[in-house]
Structure 1
Amino acid sequence: MIIEDRVYGRMEVNEPVLLELLGAPSMLRLKRISQFGVPDKYYHFKNFYRYEHSIGVMLLLKKLGADLKEQVAGLLHDVSVLAFSHVGDWIFGRAREGNEDYHEIFHGKFIENTEISKILDKHGFIPGEISDLERFSLLDSKVPDLCADRVDYALREFKYRLNPAIVETCISSLINFDGEMVFNNQESAYEFAKNFLELQFGNWASLETSMRYHLFSTALKVRK
């Protein structure tokens, strides 16, 4: 299969397990779940979707030479995300504690109790290993380290809105150094960090974003 990705361009994916997972109902639902959670009508920036981001994480891991198990984990890392993404953290109270990880609490159970588990078993993967994201250093790591999850959604915002000019340079400068994602030059590292911080304070952790999440989650709770 040839995938045309808006960030990484044209890439080929031939691994049977990845191809089957891409068409699984639990993955396809991510096509309808926006990255930011709050619908475009009520958000101040244009959304992209979790399915696109999940594929992007897989492709970035592939570019960095990650093994197939880590690519599978990357493709599935958001499969358990709630219908309104991180708005769920506000509904269930975790955002007020500074946490946006509600879907990660039941990530393993989601994989175990859906068709994803059967697909993994069929191709010789252990679901419990795939769902344990901390096993995969290129996919998942603590801030301020780089990881495929954070780098991909940052690159997508650079590409679609903030600073498209630096995307190609950032991608070409990323390398796998002993299982850790790093930049191979200071200039690219600086540009990525500077723009990442602009996203952090201008979008993800901004007062306006917090208020939109608060108001939208309150509306959902009232509707319920």
Structure 2
Amino acid sequence: MQITNSLYGTFEIESVLEELISSPSVARLGQIHQGGASYLVNPLWNVTRLEHSIGVMLFIRRFGGSLEEQIAGLLHDVSHTAFSHVVDYALELEKEDFHEQIFEKFVKSSTIPAILEKYGFSYEEILADISKWTILEQEAPELCADRIDYTLLDLYRHEKISLIEVNQFLDSLVVLNGQVYLTDIAVAEWFVEQYYAEVIDYFYDPLNVYSHEILAEAMRLALKQNTITVTDFQLTDAELLEKLKQNSDAMAKIQLLWSNVCLEENNLDYTFHHKKKTRLINPSVLLDGKLIPAADISEKVQQMNLKARKKSESGFYLKVIEKKSI
């Protein structure tokens, strides 16, 4: 099977990857939006978990990762819930990790173990400890396939960066001892700037925050009134939305997404205080054979990190002003 990705190019992939992509559990990710509720208020914010998962898989492939690591990359988000992290806000989980809590159970109840066994792989060996796949996952503030792909994919689709810039960035990456590093400090500064455009400007965009808060409230109401259960979070976005609409209180909340409102950041007089887990980046740069954190050699990175940390720790204070019809 040949597969083409807008960021990483065209690849011929093995049958095991093709069958996994076609399996119900992975295909379901094509109906789950990575930005949670954001696509409901902005059609440009429409990246799916499947696009991201395939992107991570192909990034790992492009940079020499094993077939097993490519499988892990494809499956790392397979248990993600409908509307992604909105569920974490509905359940008030500060670590935003509900999909990780259910990962093992979700995989075991799917066709994934049988598919892997068919091709001579063990799902336990590949998925029991995702952290061993070092191109796929690294603790912040370093780079990894997951962190890189969701940043590049979102910003490219949101028309914030060009394919030329993406390729310049990818050409500056190197894998050393199974880990991804940059070889150019200017490119490191560029990526840090783009990363914070993602996690600060996009994640904390007033309309984005508003959509997440409203949908999370609708979910909490429906859970409290037993219209939905936690198991329903394993549905697709559209399926869960239809169930929420069966609850009049939840539906009243959802209709607010399309109401005539004005949104502004206001730390003193606010409707919602929205706080996400802290995401900071300080990629190491390979210079003269030595790995040096970008912030150690770039004042620009230092300043961006300070600003991002302050924003992450304080969160976003959103004031909702209803506009009256004339």
TM-score (norm 2): 0.64
188 and 133 in structure 1: CA distance in 2 versus 1, 3 angstrom threshold: same
State how far apart, in whole Å, the 2-side matches of 1:205 and 1:142 are. 22
CA-CA distance at 1:123 after TM superposition: 1.7
Tell me which stretches of 4 or more aligned residues in structure 1 moved more than 3 Å.
205-211
Structure number having the greater strand percentage: 2
CA-CA distance at 1:221 after TM superposition: 2.6
CA displacement 1:23-70 (0-9 Å, x = unmatched): 111111111111111152225852211111110000000011011111
Moved more, 37-46 or 119-128: 37-46
Moved more, 2-11 or 82-91: 2-11
Structure number with larger C-alpha Rg: 2
Aligned-residue Cα RMSD (Å) equals 1.7
Partner of 2:189: 190
Q: Is the 8 A contact 1:43 1:212 kept in 2?
A: no
- Amino acid in the other structure paired with 2:79: S
1:8-157 equivalence runs, <5 A? 8-13=8-13, 15-43=14-42, 46-94=45-93, 97=94, 99-131=95-127, 132-157=129-154
Q: Is the 8 A contact 1:18 1:72 kept in 2?
A: yes
State how far apart, in whole Å, the 2-side matches of 1:220 and 1:50 are. 20
State how far apart, in whole Å, the 2-side matches of 1:10 and 1:35 are. 23
State how far apart, in whole Å, the 1-side matches of 2:102 and 2:116 are. 18
134 and 7 in structure 1: CA distance in 2 versus 1, 3 angstrom threshold: same
Unpaired stretches in structure 2, ≥5 consecutive residues: 228-326
State how far apart, in whole Å, the 2-side matches of 1:213 and 1:39 are. 7
- Amino acid in the other structure paired with 1:180: Q
CA-CA distance at 1:16 after TM superposition: 2.0
Percentage of matched positions with identical amino acids: 35
Moved more, 205-214 or 103-112: 205-214
State how far apart, in whole Å, the 2-side matches of 1:222 and 1:206 are. 25
State how far apart, in whole Å, the 2-side matches of 1:41 and 1:212 are. 8
CA-CA distance at 1:129 after TM superposition: 2.5
State how far apart, in whole Å, the 1-side matches of 2:146 and 2:212 are. 21
CA-CA distance at 1:210 after TM superposition: 3.3
For residue 174 of structure 2, give the secondary structure of its aligned residue in structure 1.
strand
Q: Is the 8 A contact 1:108 1:128 kept in 2?
A: no
State how far apart, in whole Å, the 1-side matches of 2:46 and 2:134 are. 27
- Amino acid in the other structure paired with 1:123: Y
Q: Is the 8 A contact 1:134 1:141 kept in 2?
A: yes
Moved more, 38-47 or 184-193: 38-47
Q: Is the 8 A contact 2:41 2:207 kept in 1?
A: no
How many pairs does the alignment contain?
220
CA-CA distance at 1:155 after TM superposition: 0.8
State how far apart, in whole Å, the 2-side matches of 1:210 and 1:7 are. 27
CA-CA distance at 1:207 after TM superposition: 5.5
CA displacement 1:178-206 (0-9 Å, x = unmatched): 11111122222111111111222101245
State how far apart, in whole Å, the 2-side matches of 1:144 and 1:176 are. 16
CA-CA distance at 1:173 after TM superposition: 1.6
TM-score (norm 1): 0.91
